[in-house]
Chains A and B, each alone.
Chain A
Amino acid sequence: MKKLLVLLLLAVVGYSLITAMMGVKFGENRLGDPQDEKTVSAYYLNNTTQKLSVSNVITAIVVNYRGLDTLGEVSVLFLASLGLGSILYRKHKEGEEEVAILKPSSQLLQAGSKLIFPAILMLGAYVFIHGHLTPGGGFQGGAIIATGFLLMMMAYQDYRVSHSVLVWVESLAGITFAGIGMWGLLLGNTFLENFLPIGTLNNLFSGGIIPIIYIAVGFKVAAELTGVLDTLLNIKDKH
């Protein structure tokens, strides 16, 4: 009976979504003529290269045009790792025997992960350093780095990431982001406004504050994702 009701609901939702999507033609150019800048996207595509000297328009949107979103997003991650710690916190009781969840890994994984771990870290760093030039950026790079740590955690049961290092990286990166924003305000401009020279297009040192912020985001995301993984993997259970 409940299943029937749910299926009915799904049919209604599906029907209304399909009807809605009928009005949105796939692949249609909704930007309008790029020259008259009727939509925000047209404006971004037209002006990013001259005004910010950033070749990756998405990075420009994420870090500069909609920088407040990204600051919020970074805080959401920060909150998640904080919330995880608060939700999973518990006092250790006397005489409680604790057993780790992970099973011992094979020799193959252990040897292999040691080999590719540095390469993964480097790829991650490359992705967030070049966020304003090529696809990718702080979030992607940070996620890549976190997968490297995940691999190590799975290979070596006793692999630990120092919590205090994570806290330092997280906090300093967050302060860098918010601090750069406030610096703009202090200089008499607006919050998160670019105050550095924008350089030449397609150079590594271009885009003003954008690469700095994205590198900070990369560190922060890497630290936070690693922290979350560490918390979730090190849950021990009473046997």
Chain B
Amino acid sequence: MAERDRLGRKTTAGGAWATRTVFGVLLLAAFLVPLALRGYWVRLLANVFMFGILAQGVNIIAGYCGYLALGNILFFGLGAYVTAVLMTHFGVPFPVAFAASGAGAVIFSAGIGLLILRLKGQYFLMATLALSELMREVISSLDITGGGRGLTLPMFTGGAATVNNFFYYLMLLLMLACTFCIWLIDRSYLGLAFKAIKFDEDAASVMGINPPPYKTAAWAISSLFTGFAGSAFAYWMGYIDPGVVFEITPSIKMYLMMVLGGAGTVWGPVAGALFIELVSELAWSRFMEYQFLIVGSILILTCLFTPKGLMDLVGKKFTWSLFTKGIRENKI
């Protein structure tokens, strides 16, 4: 049913069935991609889905709970290293190492979260950044992690197409599982508690919510997603070093994807990941020299037009006033 605003105007035009049909077709297409497209596209999309998982990880802590976890790459690196160490030194099979990566990330985030989730706003943001740098230094100086030289994991056995398809479906299913998890949270009391905490922790406690356990839970879920992605990434690449898995750029990128797609929405971060990765890929392949200029301009314009993210456009009529509205409300 279409929702109406105060004046009785429809805020979602066209009915939900159209959105659902488009969604269903996209989902089906996603499952059929490896049958139809070349390896390049399969790898590219697997990478997009990985960023989708990472952006969903940021979504749950920053989008829902309002805690700006800019250094979430910490759990990506942690997950990657847990898998790499277990597989190279202990001969553990991938599924077990994968589960251990998720568990390791959750234990670490829950422990450290009890301490640093007391910080708010930019202070929390800086603490997460510092933690990820700290973790990189620690891993660079340990023997078991191979230090700065990195680790080479056991190869995934099979031809190039099998490898591509395996990681494509792994990333796709993982992303869908994370999104389903967020969808469940969005509809539950847990999600309401997160949203209340994002608005104001005092107001949340007046509702009978004790913020610290909820914030810790949000960060633990966030780290679980991110740790899983790191684990899959390590096995996919076959080689990791601290510089690759603790790099700051992807950390900022997944945050940007979450904001651009729609913070605190179920599908926004996935849409953001798809949008940013495809735009940068196109810009890179077509306009090599100007790629950052083009990507940057597109991102700025998109933020101006839809300050609440791409998901805010779903179901709306594309009129000129819709596009100028974002600019007017930003007072530019």
State whether these chains interact.
Answer: no
Measured CB to CB, the residues of A under 8 A from B are none
